């Protein structure tokens, strides 16, 4: 099967090449032509007046939990999450199928999922491969690995104490089909203030054992981490990607750049926790989270950007890709092409997927939008068509989350 996209403004993310009236040809799921000559194919899409770019890569998600983006006006996120995670994996699988399709329609063509429940995402990956359901390419960690009683253990994380237990957990996840390993290096925000994001959890030795084991089996490792001390543990252990990284310092960013480690801040997934607290009347706590955590994550993005750390875009449970890009833009003041690169070419480097650019030989993951996102990121909320090797779908944006609704005055 072949698909030609003609007459669009083509953003290749390949050495900054932009084609004012370009064409892209996809044959059997692989890009075989990018240029200015109009192409013929089994399916031809006229992209006149539209922008053609690589499909977006979401580097941090929980695909069976995205319903939590639809915010409650009365129940805090923690209670909503607890209630959802009490449901059976079979029920959550239906959530995952819906959420995967919704994200695909919004322009996301690859998701790196970090479990909760990991068994759901592992089976979802198989269902996608077998074309039972339709959605983005799915990379999954299985269940995250945490210390006993650590972050998200009530939501499905594997409890592992000591080097031997961590090694067994990593090998178990990879044997079960994991593409990447997720480790919990500190407390988190979901149950704040009862849970302290600043508390280190898995030790440097435990993290290092997980990294060595995963790397020996050709898998990367990501770490949920907030505090400066826990980030040091992760850097010393050679964790491949720092997820969140709220209290990152310049010293640490320099080391990350030197070691080739990446930063996935997920700020759009964390800020809604604060905004939802404000919405339900817990204004003091919500503003405390904004000041103590969200402002620091924004600062950590700026520090990473200024010190050459590879930045990638991910939404976590509550976020949305365009909002993530907007918040990265606000923190860095980068040109929009560089901002969008965090969800395309940068994200492909971080996740080792054969995508993220419009370039011959890469996977045929393509997003067509109305408008030009190099002029206004909001154009990414107007997806026209989304193309992957297994599907062509009509675009539609993700529903607004609580942060945007409140900022726009109609929550």
Listing DSSP states for 332-397 in one string gives H---HHHHHHTTTHHHHHHHT-S-SS--TTSB--EEEEES-TTT-GGGGGSEEEEEETTEEEE--P
| Beta-carbon contacts of residue 161 (< 8 Å; ≥ 6 apart) | 147, 148, 206
The pLDDT score that the predictor gives to residue 217 is 98
The Cα-based distances of 260 to 232, 308, 310 in angstroms read: 15, 10, 8
Instruction: Tell me the pLDDT tens digit for each residue of 24-43.
Output: 999 999 999 999 999 999 99
Mean of the per-residue pLDDT values of the chain: 95
Range from 66-80, 154-168, 207-221, 355-369 carrying the lowest mean pLDDT: 66-80
Length of the chain: 411
Q: Do residues 24 and 358 make contact, with C-beta atoms less than 8 angstroms apart?
A: yes
Instruction: Give residue 70's pLDDT.
Output: 67
Beta bridge pairs of residue 52: 10, 368
In the predicted structure, residue 191 carries a pLDDT above the cut 80: no
pLDDT tens digits, residue range 290-349? Answer: 999 999 999 999 999 999 999 999 999 999 999 999 999 999 999 999 999 999 999 999
Domain assignment present for residue 410? The answer is no
38 with 66, same domain: the answer is no
Q: Determine the average pLDDT of the residues in 265-287.
A: 94
With a cut of 90, say whether residue 364 has pLDDT above it: yes
Residue 411 lies in a domain: no
**Is the domain of 48 the same as that of 175?**
no
Per the structure, the complete domain to which residue 12 belongs is given by 2-54+357-402
What the block records as the tokens of 60 is 């941090």
Q: What is the CATH number for 147?
A: 3.20.20.140
Other C-beta atoms closer than 10 Å to the C-beta of 104 total 26
Residues 138 and 182 in one domain: yes
**Average pLDDT rounded to a whole number, residues 361-382:** 98
Whichever domain contains 390, its CATH number is 2.30.40.10
Q: Which residues of 271-304 are buried (b: 16+ CB within 10 A; e: fewer)?
A: bbbbbbbbbbeeeebbeebbebbbebbbebbbbb
Q: Could you give the residue ranges of the DSSP H alpha helices within 239-282?
A: 250-259, 267-279
* Distance, CA of 373 to CA of 250 (rounded, Å): 31
Tell me whether residue 83 is exposed, middle or buried, using C-beta atoms within 10 angstroms of its C-beta: 0 to 12, 13 to 18, 19 or more: exposed
Contact 364, 337 (CB under 8 A): no
pLDDT confidence tier of residue 10, bands split at 50, 70 and 90: very high
Is 79 a member of any domain?
yes
The pLDDT of residue 69 is 74
Q: Within this chain, do residues 23 and 116 fall inside the same structural domain, yes or no?
A: no
pLDDT digits (tens, 9 = 90+) for 62-110: 999 888 776 677 788 788 888 888 899 999 999 999 999 999 999 999 9
d(CA 110, CA 353): 9
Instruction: Give the mean model confidence (pLDDT) for residues 177-204.
Output: 91
9's CB contacts (< 8 A; 6+ apart) are 18, 19, 20, 21, 22, 47, 50, 51, 52, 372
Least confident of 5-9, 93-97, 113-117: 113-117
Q: Do residues 280 and 156 share a domain?
A: yes
Rounded to whole angstroms, the Cα distance separating 121 from 124 reads 5
Average pLDDT score over residue span 123-138:
97
With pLDDT > 90 as the criterion, what percentage of the chain qualifies? 86
Q: For residue 361, what are the β-bridge partners?
A: none
Residue range 93-102, pLDDT digits in tens: 999 999 999 9
Q: Give me the mean pLDDT over the 364-378 stretch.
A: 98
Q: Is the pTM of this model over 0.85?
A: yes
Number of domains in the chain: 2
- pLDDT for the residue numbered 2: 97
Let me know whether 276 and 390 are in one domain.
Answer: no
| 237 vs 163: CA distance, rounded Å | 13
| CB within 8 Å of 182: residues ≥ 6 apart | 114, 115, 141, 144, 145, 221, 222, 223, 224, 243
Q: Are residues 14 and 73 in the same domain?
A: no
């Amino acid at each position: 099967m072949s698909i030609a996209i003609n007459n669009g403004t083509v953003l290749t993310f390949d050495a900054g090449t932009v084609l004012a009236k370009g064409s892209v040809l996809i044959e059997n799921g692989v890009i075989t032509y990018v240029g200015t000559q109009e192409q013929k194919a089994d399916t031809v899409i006229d992209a006149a007046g539209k922008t053609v770019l690589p499909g977006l890569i979401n580097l941090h998600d929980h695909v069976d939990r995205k319903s939590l983006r639809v915010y409650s006006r009365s129940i805090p996120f923690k209670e909503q999450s607890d209630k959802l995670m009490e449901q059976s994996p079979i029920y959550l699988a239906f959530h995952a199928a819906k959420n995967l399709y919704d994200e695909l329609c919004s322009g996301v063509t690859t998701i790196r999922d970090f479990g909760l429940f990991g068994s759901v995402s592992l089976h979802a990956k198989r269902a996608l491969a077998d074309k039972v359901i339709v959605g983005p390419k799915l990379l999954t960690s299985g269940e995250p690995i945490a210390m006993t009683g650590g972050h998200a253990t009530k939501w499905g994380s594997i409890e592992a104490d000591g080097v031997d237990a961590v090694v067994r957990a990593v090998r178990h996840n990879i044997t079960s089909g994991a593409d990447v390993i997720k480790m919990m290096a500190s407390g988190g925000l979901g149950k704040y203030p009862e849970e302290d994001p600043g508390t280190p959890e898995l030790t440097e030795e435990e993290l290092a054992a997980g990294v060595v084991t995963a790397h020996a089996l050709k898998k990367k490792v990501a770490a949920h981490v907030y505090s400066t001390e826990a980030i040091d543990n992760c850097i010393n252990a050679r964790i491949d990607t720092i997820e969140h990284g709220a209290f990152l310092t310049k010293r640490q960013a320099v080391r990350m750049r030197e070691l080739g480690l990446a930063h996935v801040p997920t700020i759009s997934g964390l800020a809604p926790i604060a905004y939802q607290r404000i919405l339900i009347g817990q204004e003091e706590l919500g503003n405390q989270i904004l000041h103590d955590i969200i402002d620091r994550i924004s600062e950590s993005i700026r520090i990473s950007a200024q010190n050459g750390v590879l930045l990638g875009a991910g939404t976590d449970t509550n976020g949305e890709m365009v909002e993530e890009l907007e918040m990265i833009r606000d923190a860095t003041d980068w040109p929009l092409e560089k901002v969008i690169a965090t969800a395309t070419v940068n994200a492909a480097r971080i996740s080792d997927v054969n995508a993220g650019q419009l370039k011959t030989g890469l996977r045929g993951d393509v997003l067509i939008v109305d408008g030009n996102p190099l002029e206004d990121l909001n154009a990414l909320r107007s997806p026209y068509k989304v193309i992957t090797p297994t599907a062509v779908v009509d675009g539609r944006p993700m529903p607004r989350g609580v942060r945007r609704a409140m900022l726009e005055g109609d929550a």
